[in-house]
A and B are shown apart, each in its own frame.
Chain A
Amino acid sequence: MATAIPTRPFGRHADVRVSALGFGGHHLGDAADEATAVRLVREAIDAGVTFFDNCWEYHRGKSEIWMGKALEGRRDEVFLMTKACTHGREARLGLEMLEQSLRRLRTDHLDLWQIHGVCFENDPALFIRPNGAAEALRKAKDDGKVRFVGFTGHKDPAIHLAMLDTGFPFDAVQMPLNPFDASFKSFERQVLPALAARGIAALGMKPFVGKGEAVQAGTLSAEEALRYAMSLPVATTITGIDKPEVLAQNVGIAQGLAPMSDAEMDALRARCRADAADGRFELYKLSLKYDNPEARTAHGFPIDRQQAEVKELLTATENTGHPFPPSDG
């Protein structure tokens, strides 16, 4: 008999609790079809998942639309997060994206709204400038359209720390957390303590280290990877779910989770350290090729349309490279 997925306090808002396993919205758009996606979301709720992640630009809105359909009649059972893709642009654009996200998700409010993809060195300055996205977060909260606000990024702990240094009162911050991270440009070592000091809810992502190459290479098992991430001082660990077997695997690990001991975590970090030190397993921190073409375009950075990864992304998302406005979902 399976036990429940544990819940955890949401940062300084300790009366709010979220499931220790979070349902990643990008992979939901990779599900075989809408019916599968709807079933995955509802089965996850039945299994005790309450934290649902999404983003305005995932699959050109498909991820939000499918999740919105799945949550019909069950919206109150979940803690719903989506992200705005301002990528350095102004508050007004963020608020337009919010309205679109709310329509797609079939709700009048979000539990958490985050700035997506904070990855460039000038993002903190662009965020906090007059008319920057910080003002959208404030206004959305004042208008009661979002309960909490935050930001996310996968690139560099220094950029996360610079965002915190803007002084903006974030409720949540999302980042890659896994046993490789501990030894390479580490969010765990640099950002987690800063969040704890400020009472900000930490949201982990990429528990399987990028696309799971280290698991495939046999350095660690999927269970070790997910247990490690969930044993850190985080509110939730977001992981992508696109198939019933992936849902079953992750729910199985999360139900009745026994956190790793400090010694177990140390041993796993040590096992991964030699492979982690040049960052080749965490390319999202390193390579320009892993930058989101939408974000690069919005910043005025060139994209290489001949690059395989860019071609893939442009095709997969029917993305023109010009981020807004798209057709409404």
Chain B
Amino acid sequence: MLVARNLTKSYPSGGGILTVLRDVSFVVPEGAFVAIVGPSGSGKTTLLGLLAGLDIPTSGSVSLDGADLGSLTEDARARLRGEKVGFVFQSFQLIPTLSALENVQVPLELRGEAHAGTRARELLQRVGLAARAHHYPTQLSGGEQQRVAIARAFANSPRVLFADEPTGNLDSSTGEPIIALIEELNREAGTTVVLVTHDPGLAARASRVIRLGDGVVVHDSELAA
């Protein structure tokens, strides 16, 4: 489903070159639940960005559901995301000027789907927020915002869900139902989940853990087993 080959990412920084990721490779099969862990600055978020095609690697390649991201234009990658990828962010990243319902509708409407409103309402119902459909993000609590974000992430029935510290801004009592939702979707729809976290408890719930340190894979539970 997701293949990373020799991924390296470096940035020019203060005269020198800062290499954030170095020669990272792994394969994620369909339906897997992978956690990427590591200390701050180990390159977790950069890796996630490359896997989702939000950025392009300095060298190496990413293949998502058979498509080589490096060979696609920016717009083609966007279309691919619209069709096959879902996102959940640490800071929720809802569009502040859109209501909860409108936020969920966006991926559907970008694909030009009819009945986007009906489907979005169903999704909100599923995350338990049908009653707050017309509230703006600032009128929702953190947990509620993240649930809207999850409804949005699943709006296009993605093949892969990328989650960046999805509970990082939430306490454990609001964080738990979020993880439960993600696990449920992974199980029921067979959605591949790639989750970035530094919470060991959360990582323990994944079927596989990839540990990064200083830009390289220092441990992969699958290879170790």
Tell me, yes or no, whether A binds B: no
